[in-house]
Amino acid sequence: MNIPIIILIFLPFIGSVFTFIVGKIYKKSAFICAYIISIILFSLTVYICISFTQALSFDLEWFSFGNITLPFGIYIDELSLVMLLIATGLGALDIHFSHDYMADERDQARYYSKVLFFIGGMILLVSAKEMLGLFVGWEFMGLASYLLISFWHQNSSPADAGVSAFLYTKFGDIFLFASLGIIFYTTGTLDMIKLNELSSSGEINSQVAYVVSIFIFIAAIGKSGQFPLFPWLMRAMEGPTTVSALIHGATMVNSGIYIVARMFDFYVAAEALVVVAAVASLSAFIGATSALVQNEMKKVLAYSTMSHLSLAFIGLGAGSLAAGMTHLINHAIFKALLFLGAGAVILSAHHVKDLWRLGGLKNRLILVSIFMGMGVLSLSGIPIFSGFYSKDAIIASTLLNPETHGLISTLTIIAALLSIAYAGRLWTLIFVGKPRDEELHVSIKAPSKFWISLPLGVMATLTLALGVFQKELAEFITAEKYHELHVNGLFTFMMGVILVLGLIIYYFYVRRTDLRDKISAQPLMKSIHQILFNGYYIEMMINWFAKSIIVNAVAKSINWVEKNIVDAFINGVVTVTHLSFTFLKHTHSAKVSNQSGAMMLGLMMIVATVLIRSFL
Amino acid sequence: MSAFVLLFALAIVSLVIHKLSILKSISIVTLIASSALVLLHFSTPLSGFTSSAAIELFQVLLFTVISAVIISEDEHINITQTLFITAASVLLLESSTLLTFIISFEALSIISFVLVSNIKNAKQAEGAIKMFISGSIATAIIVLGLSMYLLEGHSLNALIDAKMSNFAIVGIWIIMMGLFYKLTIVPMHSWAADTYAQIKPSLAATLSGVVKTVVVVATFKIFSPFILNNITLSMPILALLALVTMTLGNFLALWQKSVGKILSYSSIAHAGYMLLAFVAIQSKYASTALLYMAVAYIFMQTSLFLLLDKLSDGRGDLSLDNLKGLYSKDKFASLIFSIELFSLAGIPLLAGFLGKAILVYAVVDVNLIFLALFTLLNSALSVGYYAWIIKHIYFDKAEGKNKISRVSNTALISQLILLSGTLYFGLFAYNIFEVAF
């Protein structure tokens, strides 16, 4: 195994421990340490990328027991490379950004070591050859996500949000673990490349493959915040914004899409892609509509993350690996940009996240407003920005695939178009118009150019530049010639609607704010607003189901059985054993004559048995 | 045989030098030398005695355990007797004909009587006498069986014949019943329950830990062909005896108050477990299972009785209430006591677990599912009283002044030897899996 890859896999974990120890001794050194490690990781990835000629594959063994061997191989191909670049590149930018954002934090060592641990988990996940390694990375990331969401665990709401994230994702993880077991039992291998080949050649029972793909997809739903397991993603915004950017915007939430993309042939063979597309289109719609009415800027971004991840899922579900994966990459970059931009605003505005208290920040945060504006344009799918190309490709692929043409494609188009509405609304409310909180407005100062604006600028440039290289990117990932999907009139239609939506936003949020307030005061609009604001009450439904069905009905009846049947049985055992003891005690006499008598009696009984048996 | 010669010579010499303080060190050195002789296959061939890889391994482990016993023993006269017992054990383990087996067995029995006759009080006298009377009856039974076997014209100076008349078969069964006295199989068990609990616990360690295990292994070596030839009859009888022995042992141990009594009954229950290997003799795992159980048992049972000896200052009259608060007084002894008890109970990663596991595996291998099930239930039941002792050691506060004595450092060395055996064979199974009987 070559050395860069060994370092790439082990350095984050070693570095995490090292950072923690060093940071405990001298506070400032935690950042330096983490920064250097993240840059080393990124350089290594770039090095591997440059020297990449063909897929690197290493067969390693975790342990073997009898004739069962658990492999733990490393496999790095184009898909993994792209994910590695995102994880380490955005990770380095994120740590760079954290220098100012987390400057006031007292426990720096803990923060940076957790972030490095997270990056390590992501690297492990995307470079695993077998599902086992993938699962380990998956769980490491889940743990890191939990630890980072509840980073400010002294307060109750981040702590609760962490637990909620842990429970929601863990619910999905159980299914991933189950699918591991099923696959290993039926095929005897966990190698994902081999599984793709086996399923393509039809050697895996199609029903088993279908169940396994659905199970894996349930895990992906949990991790990527899709319907119905998305409420944790919204609550995860309690964590530091840098964490939201890295984990809940750009990298970890992508792992669900990655696993489906990695096993794409398996999904094709199992004919499970349409399920992926269906569930994803529903979540895209829910995410996009709910994002329209949120008051907190991070919540807007969270719902838009959910909606855009769904778009990537839809791309995969419609059968276009290239569309799904390019959108994943584009999204990772512009969403990290938007999250970090929001972080810059939050940092300058003394941790105010409410959109209705901001406004008119354009003049004070000019660089941030420009870079965030580029992110908004990319997210909305405006041409020449990268978001446009992948989004267009996804919509085209849903329209061209007969299975997804219809309801799924309609929901997708609505979700894709609405992104201009919520992103435009977000940007407008923050940067344009009159300041709504004068006192706050006066106190806002422009953040550091090097530590804050530079990473935003890098990402904004990237999202613009990637627009040019969409075709090359798609060809690199899929390793085949890219055929551009074309639907007549789609471009004109999209641009028309985007223009109309842009004008509506401009009219209601800048020109006639009084009219907007009047409309939203209508009872009907109010109730729609409530439904959208609460994310269609999905979290409430899940809580109700968990409480009244699982706790009150199932758990309580099991408890009754435990108390009245199992415990009673166990208590009965004590009585019975005591009775047996008092009975058996009579067999033991302390008198040696009785003992000898017993010996002779026993001897005679056995001899009699032998005699009877042998002479009969 | 050379190990026997060396040990026997040492035992004779020790009669002369038993007043000198160097006896202990000389004995240890001799035992190490004997182990070396065994390991180097340095043996003088003698008719009627053969050895095998399994026997050699067992002998080395036996010498290790005997060293631990001698290190912890204070009275020189007991050391001398223990050396004689070791010599006789070597003979018994290596004997390959019925004649040498019976003679070695009687030698072992007689030295055992001499060992327990070092009487200090009335209780110990009672225990010694009970053992003596039961032993005499057992010898009488064995001789009766031998005479029946001889009357049918079979030779003693050979292995048990494969083809026998029914009369001779009955004779062999009677001999086995006599041997079961030493193995404490029901109905030959009741002396053990009293004797082990009444005599000095360090002597009980030798009797119940060492002698019993040696007899089990030797009996298996000599009698397994006979049992295999008469499998239709021997399997049900032995299965019944094993089941009754372990059930009776475990149930009677369950509500005892005295630690010595609990250990005695647990020793009886373990005899029942070991008899399972005789039941499952058709399985190819039977010999491994027996050897593993014997090795695990010799370490853990000896350790527990020796520890009891030290904690009760040689009186062996500790009750469960006396053990309360042992943890706060002697953490190290509590830990060793608990680990050995867990091993007896069959907790994984300790030797006792693997021993039981392979035994049950062998029983399942010959399709006696219900017997395996009852063994597991028994094992689960036994956890009850072992955990009860540990509860007293760790979680109860001492009431008033307890009469526990501290464990001396030399005794701790011997405990560590036994503990390392328990841990080693809980983790590294291949040493025993690879040897053949």
- Cβ of A599 within 8 Å of Cβ of B381? The answer is no
pLDDT at A511 over 90: no
Question: What residues of B are in contact with residue A615 (Cβ under 8 Å)?
Answer: 166
- Residue A186 C-alpha, separation from nearest chain B C-alpha, in angstroms: 27
- Cβ of A577 within 8 Å of Cβ of B186? The answer is no
Q: Where are the alpha helices (DSSP H) in A452-584?
A: 454-465, 470-478, 490-506, 513-520, 523-533, 538-544, 556-561, 567-584
- Cβ of A609 within 8 Å of Cβ of B237? The answer is yes
- Residue A602 C-alpha, separation from nearest chain B C-alpha, in angstroms: 6
- Residue B17 C-alpha, separation from nearest chain A C-alpha, in angstroms: 37
In terms of CA atoms, which chain A residue is nearest residue B194?
A: A590
3-state secondary structure A178-239: HHHHHHHHHHCCCEHHHHHHHHHCCCCCHHHHHHHHHHHHHHHHHHHCCCCCCHHHHHHHHC
In terms of CA atoms, which chain B residue is nearest residue A582?
A: B252
- Cβ of A592 within 8 Å of Cβ of B129? The answer is yes
Per-residue pLDDT averaged across A507-520, rounded? 80
Question: What residues of A are in contact with residue B255 (Cβ under 8 Å)?
Answer: 577-578, 581
B427 lies within 8 A of chain A by CB: no
The dihedral over CA atoms of A410, A372, A470, A485, expressed in degrees to the nearest 10, equals 20
Among B190, B254, B382, the strongest candidate for a mutation testing the A interface, having the largest count of A CBs within 10 A, is B190
Give residue-wise pLDDT tens across range A15-50: 999 999 988 888 888 899 999 999 999 999 999 888
Report the predicted TM-score, pTM, of the whole model to 2 decimal places. Answer: 0.67
- Cβ of A610 within 8 Å of Cβ of B129? The answer is no
pLDDT at B290 over 90: yes
In terms of CA atoms, which chain A residue is nearest residue B382?
A: A577
Prediction ipTM score: 0.85
Nearest to A430 by CA among A365, A374, A361: A361
- Cβ of B187 within 8 Å of Cβ of A601? The answer is yes
Nearest to B425 by CA among B65, B72, B50: B65
- Residue B270 C-alpha, separation from nearest chain A C-alpha, in angstroms: 18
Residue A365 Cα distances to A336, A356, A453, angstroms = 18, 17, 10
Determine the pLDDT at residue A67. Answer: 67
Both tokens of residue A607? 């001899």
Per-residue pLDDT averaged across B94-114, rounded? 93
Give residue-wise pLDDT tens across range A385-433: 888 888 888 888 888 888 888 888 899 999 988 888 888 888 888 888 7
| Candidate from A577, A580, A606 with C-beta closest to B173 | A606
- Residue B177 C-alpha, separation from nearest chain A C-alpha, in angstroms: 7
The ranges assigned to domains in chain B are 2-433
Determine the pLDDT at residue B384. Answer: 87
Cross-strand pairs, A130: A191
Q: How many CB pairs under 8 A join A and B?
A: 76
pLDDT at A584 over 90: no
Determine the pLDDT at residue A27. Answer: 83
pLDDT bracket for residue B51 (50, 70, 90): confident
Q: Which of residues 182-201 of B touch A (CB under 8 A)?
A: 186-188, 190-191, 193-194
Question: What residues of B are in contact with residue A603 (Cβ under 8 Å)?
Answer: 141, 174, 177, 187
**Mean pLDDT lowest among A463-477, B28-42, B102-116:** A463-477
| CA dist., res. B399 & res. B325, Å (int) | 8
- Cβ of B177 within 8 Å of Cβ of A598? The answer is no
Both tokens of residue A372? 């965030």
Question: What residues of A are in contact with residue B233 (Cβ under 8 Å)?
Answer: 610, 613-614
Q: Which of residues 143-172 of B touch A (CB under 8 A)?
A: 166, 169-170
- Tell me the three state secondary structure of residue B300: helix
